[in-house]
């Protein structure tokens, strides 16, 4: 089953608009140091690689892996041995989350599913160390499922794969704004990958609990 992919539209992505992003601010203002210039150059390179990687079909989300990679020939991943022995809605193969954080997120996900019927699933990874395609069957991904993959490999740590029913109920712009706020490299480098993940989960939970309508999920909280 194919699901629409929502890429981060923050400072690290290819979307162009009239509103300056944090990345564009770096390019407009003179760098204060050699390190600033190097960071700006790295951000630009990461953005390009991210786009090429996703268009190739080898996606860090691990649901649409076709086995075709970009420059280095990265391929799709399917490692069921990296899956936990027992079912869980949070899989952290990257070690970003503490046991307490995993428990809190799992509790929030359980409450969300009970209250709304939406199924949020979280995978924290560093490509290619990921169970990859194996998560689809493990989680029984369907039209009510949001797969949230936290992977900093290409700069923005927040990636989302959204089921068809969720796509009808939630504005697509929400996922872009969410990635732009909590997934950009400036945020997670300063506050940590775990902070980005927890903030994103809470924002998704808040959004999915709002009544479906023309103004639902208009703000990322």
188: its two tokens: 């997670």
pLDDT (tens digit per residue) in 134-167:
999 999 999 999 999 999 998 899 999 999 999 9
* Residue that wins the pLDDT comparison between 131 and 41: 131
Q: How confident is the model at residue 183 (pLDDT cuts 50, 70, 90)?
A: very high
In a domain, 213, yes or no: no
Report how far residue 144's alpha carbon sits from residue 165's, in angstroms, rounded to the nearest whole number.
6
What range does the domain containing 194 cover? 5-208
Report how far residue 97's alpha carbon sits from residue 197's, in angstroms, rounded to the nearest whole number.
9
In a domain, 61, yes or no: yes
Q: What is the pLDDT at residue 20?
A: 35
Report how far residue 184's alpha carbon sits from residue 189's, in angstroms, rounded to the nearest whole number.
9
Q: What is the pLDDT at residue 63?
A: 40
Q: Which residues pair with 129 in a beta bridge?
A: 126
Number of domains in the chain: 1
Q: What is the pLDDT at residue 120?
A: 98
In a domain, 36, yes or no: yes
What ranges make up the beta strands (E) of the chain? 5-6, 90-92, 119-124, 145-150, 158-162
Report how far residue 8's alpha carbon sits from residue 182's, in angstroms, rounded to the nearest whole number.
10
Compute the average pLDDT of residues 72-87: 81
In a domain, 17, yes or no: yes
In a domain, 199, yes or no: yes
User: Phi first, then psi: what are they for 29, rounded to 5°?
Assistant: -100, 140
Q: Which of the 8 DSSP states describes residue 198? A: H
* Residue that wins the pLDDT comparison between 76 and 88: 88
The domain that contains 163 carries what CATH number?
A: 3.10.310.50
In a domain, 221, yes or no: no
In a domain, 214, yes or no: no
In a domain, 216, yes or no: no
pLDDT above 70: residue 46:
no
């Amino acid at each position: 089953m194919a699901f629409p992919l929502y890429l981060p539209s923050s400072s690290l992505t290819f979307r162009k608009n009239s509103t300056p992003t944090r990345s564009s601010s770096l390019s407009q203002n003179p760098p204060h140091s050699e390190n600033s210039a190097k960071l700006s150059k790295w951000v630009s390179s990461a953005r390009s690689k991210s786009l090429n990687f996703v268009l190739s079909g080898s996606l860090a989300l691990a649901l649409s892996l076709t086995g075709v990679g970009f420059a280095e020939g990265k391929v799709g991943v399917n490692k069921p041995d990296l899956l936990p022995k027992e079912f869980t809605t949070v899989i952290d193969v990257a070690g970003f989350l503490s046991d307490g954080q995993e428990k809190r997120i799992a509790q929030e996900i359980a409450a969300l599913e009970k209250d709304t019927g939406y199924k949020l699933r979280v995978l924290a990874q560093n490509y290619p160390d990921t169970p990859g395609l194996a998560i689809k069957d493990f989680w029984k991904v369907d039209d009510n499922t949001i797969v949230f993959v936290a992977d900093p490999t290409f700069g923005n740590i927040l990636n989302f794969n959204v089921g068809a029913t969720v796509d009808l109920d939630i504005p697509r712009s929400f996922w872009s704004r969410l990635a732009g706020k909590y997934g950009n490299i400036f945020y997670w480098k300063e506050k940590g990958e775990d902070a980005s993940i927890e903030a994103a989960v809470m924002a998704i939970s808040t959004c999915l609990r709002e009544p479906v309508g023309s103004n639902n999920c208009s703000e990322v909280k």
